[in-house]
Structure 1
Amino acid sequence: MRGVVTATPYRLAGRESPNSKRVGYPICDSKQCSQGGPLTKFHARITALALTVAAFGVTATACSSTEATSDGAGSATRSIETVRGTVDVPETPLRVVTLEPVELDTSVALGVVPVGTAVLSEVSGVPSYLGAEAADIATVGTVAEPTIEDIAALQPDLILGTETRHAEYYDQLSALAPTVFIASQSDPWRDSVRFVGRILGKEAKAEELLTAYDNRCGEIAEKFGTEGKTAQLIRPRNGELTLYGPSSFAGSTLECAGFTTPPRPEWADEISVDLSPELAAQASADLIVVTATDPSDPAAIPASITANAAALPNPHAVDQSYWITGVGPKGGQAVLDDIDRILSD
């Protein structure tokens, strides 16, 4: 069987644009997410590579060169040079399985619809915001606990996952198909989009999608004059209010559209922070956005928010499936659709 090396996403040492700062996309909060380095091709090299990563940091830049090759069986592959070594992936993958939301969203956006995906909830299944083309994707367990038997039944030719979530499954997955992990679900989402594009041989298309996202942000900012205004994303859960900062996926999209997140000292290190209901007024902003599983539910916005109308004026309920977990080009456009709609009302 062809050897496979995990890899970290392509990452720049500096910012590419005002919108390319480090942006995480937690399904868990950053304080709940652990970091981990990808596995290597040869087990004997694990210790040496781990020391190298510790010395240079997990944000080391991966090489971006690719080379088309053919294995002994004659099937075309692309060799991608990274800081982890050489990753051999199919030149044109046809049966991709994704285990992370950003990999699912990006693959669909790039026109490479996976045959299977892990989902956040087997009850809700594949997110509807991805459109009709994603409706028939088979589910293979949850993001936290993918089901190896279900993945094997799909006969994948490429598997994409995440080191911090799926390291324990790597040996089983790589026995089924070439397996590539991003380092962490908290990595900058734009870098992960580029990485998936590179793995799928769709680098130019991935850049086009990110450019379209940036352009849409600029159009909204100009249309509604958002510069100088503040916006706060709030997620009610477990009796508390979770505030999302500028390095979260949707928080970064609000900032991309011209808003500023109200400053908090926690934003230096955290993607989100929890407030007790009695402190709801601390979330004060010009625009208040509240996530819900059903935005049409009159009870979607909790009383702790509506009771603080002076500090939290006119809160808007939005769909949690893409504001919190819809990480990627399609999720980004869905969030921008909501922002445009809200500001047009």
Structure 2
Amino acid sequence: MHSDYMAVLISNWSSVQSLPENYVFPPERRPGAEEIQASKDIPIINLEGINGSERSEIIQHIIKASQDFGLFQVINHGVSRELTDQTMRIFQEFFMLPAEFKSKFYSNDLNSSCRLYTSTLNYENETIHYWRDNLTHRCHPLEDHIDHWPESPPGYRIIVGKYSTEVRKFLLTMLELICEGIGIKTGYFEGELSKTQLVSVNHHIPCPDPSLTLGMPEHCDPNLISMLQQADVCGLQALKDGQWIGIEPLANAFVVIPGLQLRVISNGKLASAVHRVVTHLEKSRTTIGTFLTPSNDIMIRPVDGVLTSQEPMYRGYTYNEFFSAFIGNNCEAERALQCFKLSTMH
């Protein structure tokens, strides 16, 4: 049963001379031959002075970045360089493991506790595939999920377990700072709103023609908040004022992206960046994503603190309802949000 899967995982391909037909996008969706330079405009938040006199200035910087760009980079985030480097190395080693070992984790089941797949979870029904393999697993609470994780490379569970815990702390800190910045009571995002934590690792092997294919489609994150640790190869791009801009892989920085749930809870005050991934001709590229997502049946709605004189733009819904609308609308954020918009006409 697993031999078919071994063939479709791009990390199992030894060398690719030309781009297979089923990875070539129609002209209007291709990234094109022009290399998009890393932008110098992406906001960089330095958390070093967050507990001192600069706190309110840093928080305002976070809110402004979330409004203007829908993403930002964070330095001095408190997760050690040693741990981020070890974690990146262990994931890169995972994708280099023998096909037979990796095939044990191959799954297109969204509910699988640990799944390895290629392109998207809809691989069988796609006409064109994305140039990526992905390993995703649940991380919180750690003891409920760690036994489903790979045991190789050696140290995987210990290192990734420690990383997941540290990164969760970091993301909850970011949510606290956002609360402070937009006037929501402290602790609002703890518990059910940030209950599910996924680590999701994208791996892209060198691509024979980066102008014809994509590593990931353009999309908005449907969750609460996302964090990406990039390897040192540029590939992540965000849409700003109709133009794609490259997000430079800064040493020991995290990219933070407010998800669509933050957009709703903030009543449209915070944006969520549309982003995509392009491929690289010569280098492999690995990115570690961590996503915090509400539990399925928690109610989500614009929160009192942000409404004051403003009418709510969205009705309440459960995350499960939202996610169904998101998938049902082909993962198009605006169409999914439309399902929950309140009419402004009275």
Instruction: State TM-score, norm by structure 1.
Output: 0.27
Instruction: State TM-score, norm by structure 2.
Output: 0.27
